[in-house]
Amino acid sequence: MESKRSSFTGKLGFVLAAAGSAVGLGNIWRFPYLAAKYGGGIFLLVYIALSVTFGFSLMIAEIALGRKTKLSAIRAYGSLDKRFSFVGILCSLVPVIILPYYSVIGGWVMKYMFGFITGKTAEMAQDTYFNSYLGITVEPILWFLLFIGITALIVLLGVEKGVEKISKIMMPILIGLIVFIVAYTLITMDGAWDGVVYYLKPDFSKFSLMTVVAAMGQLFYSMSLAMGIMITFGSYMKKEINIEKSVKQIEVFDTGVAFLAGLMIIPAVFAFSGGNEAALGQGPGLMFVTLPKIFDAMPGGSFIGAAFFVMVLFAALTSSISLMETVVSIFMDKLKIGRKVSILVVLGGSLLLGVVSSLGYSAWADVKVLGMQFLDFFDFFSNSLLMPIVALATVIFVGFILKPKAIIEEVELLEPFKFKKLFTAVIRFVAPVCILIILVSSILTAFGIVSI
Ligand code: TRP
């Protein structure tokens, strides 16, 4: 089976496919709300610093591991060292947990898209709209079902390629719209520039360990690291393609989109709240509360809002499709079932977890797991717990068992590996220490032992 692995065509094919799966709600929804919450400039600085050292090294390691073994994550670790088979299994759990709640947020995106199409812009721009919408029991579940249903249908019919083609056209339009919205906010809205300062100027007094925990979790999430995805991508990558260059391109693109999304949301929050910093700490709803206000203030805003959410929907769909594909193939492999059955199993499991995530905001709002409601808990469990464990195991594995040399050789098949010293230092020393600190602190905070 392995010898028949298909591969990406063309030089850009790999980068585009990997970037298409990496850019999604993580960049547009998750990054801005975390940056707003964790101190703006300081979060951005920590994120970029982690991305060029840690993200760079881990992505190189994962892609090279995949290309070297030509195996997907579940088997790649075990095939090189039996003791590390558990990492493959932990990796596989991550997309299983992410897919359901990702689709709940995909449902929110669809709801807002239809809101703009039907001209409810002024209504959606009200402060309380988002929270009262989430408080409804049934409607958000229906939108979630629609979103995950479309994802499953695309995977079932095998028309992912078509969606990817459309999204290649949508992506530049989305970026263009974001730039337009940024320009509009900065030119027309009083107080927006204070937001730019907050976003770009690091305030070191706002630094805490939690900034690093959040930034690292976001880095994993946004670049689809520490979950085996890049290993699988690597297993399809041709030997003629330069891993180091591809990684740099994916990182610049992914971080660029996230950066712009932050610039779109944070200054607007300042403008609409009159500089009240409390408005920054809203959490997951930030984008859904802020954007309608911008569109409401803009001539032709309903149309632009609708167009914007259509593009976001496509970005979200390419990610959810790739998430579902991953989970479906894991279940096919592990349970030895056919593709159709696997899709049904994955859909069933996701419906269950997704409905629970959605009810966590409404009927079950009082039920808490470790002090978090369900969606936050799933997000925390995958991003702050599983991914750091997988990342730690990966760097120990690559640094001390497989040895960095094996990865460097794979990268250097074509051209010299420019940053190989940085790579080795990060994989062997910096990353293990950092991740360990992060892991311990997120466990301690989750159990309420310390607050950081
Ligand atoms: N990186 C994606 C985003 O930013 C989300 C994501 C996480 C993902 N894990 C994934 C996408 C696995 C595809 C496959 O939205």
**DSSP assignment of 186-230:** HHH-TTHHHHHHHHHS--GGG--HHHHHHHHHHHHHHTT-SSSHH
Nearest-angstrom CA–CA distance, 380 and 200: 26
- What's the gap between Cα 424 and its chain centre? 26
From the CA of 84, how far away is ligand 1's center (Å)?
24
Closest CA to 348 of 210, 145, 180, 207: 145
Tell me, what's the pLDDT at 452? 55
Residue 205 CA to ligand 1 centre (angstroms):
32
pTM tops 0.85, yes or no: yes
- Ramachandran angles phi, psi of 368, nearest 5°: -125, 140
Check residue 326 and give its pLDDT. 87
Check residue 1 and give its pLDDT: 40
Distance (Å, rounded) from C-alpha 137 to C-alpha 294? 28
* Tokens representing residue 350 in the block: 């996701």
pLDDT of residue 90: 92
Q: Which of 219, 224, 313 to mutate to test the pocket of ligand 1 (most atoms within 8 A of CB)?
A: 224
The amino acid at 182: V
Q: Evaluate: CB of 228 within 6 angstroms of ligand 1.
A: no
- The beta-strand segments (E) located in 290-443 are none
Report the residue among 62, 98, 260, 313 best suited for mutation to probe ligand 1: largest number of ligand atoms under 8 A from its CB: 98
Residue whose CA is closest, atom 2 of ligand 1? 22
Q: 19, 322 in Cβ contact below 8 A?
A: no
Ligand 1 mean position to 278 CA, how many Å? 29
Pocket of ligand 1 contains residue 319 by CB under 6 Å: yes
**Ligand 1 centroid – CA 167 distance (Å):** 15
Check residue 442 and give its pLDDT. Answer: 85
Question: How far away, in angstroms, is 223 Cα from ligand 1 center?
Answer: 7
HSE, side-chain direction, 13 A CA sphere, residue 221: 29
Is any atom of ligand 1 closer than 6 Å to the C-beta of 98?
Answer: yes
What are the mean pLDDT values of the chain's consecutive 10-residue runs (452 residues total)? 55 76 92 96 97 96 94 86 92 94 97 97 96 96 98 92 83 94 96 96 93 92 92 89 94 96 97 88 94 96 96 93 90 90 96 96 92 91 92 96 95 95 96 92 80 58
Residue nearest to atom 9 of ligand 1 (CA): 224
How far, in Å, from the CA of 76 to the mean position of ligand 1?
20
Instruction: Judge whether 71 and 85 are in contact, CB under 8 Å.
Output: no
**Cα–Cα distance for residue pair 399/407, rounded to 1 Å:** 10
Closest CA to 62 of 402, 398, 405, 423: 398
Tokens 């149309």 sit at which residue?
Answer: 303
- Rounded to 10 degrees, the C-alpha dihedral 127/357/256/154 comes to -120
Helix (H, G, I), strand (E, B) or coil at 369: strand
Taking the centre of ligand 1 as the mean of its atom positions, its distance from the CA of residue 231, in whole angstroms, is: 14
pLDDT of residue 236: 86
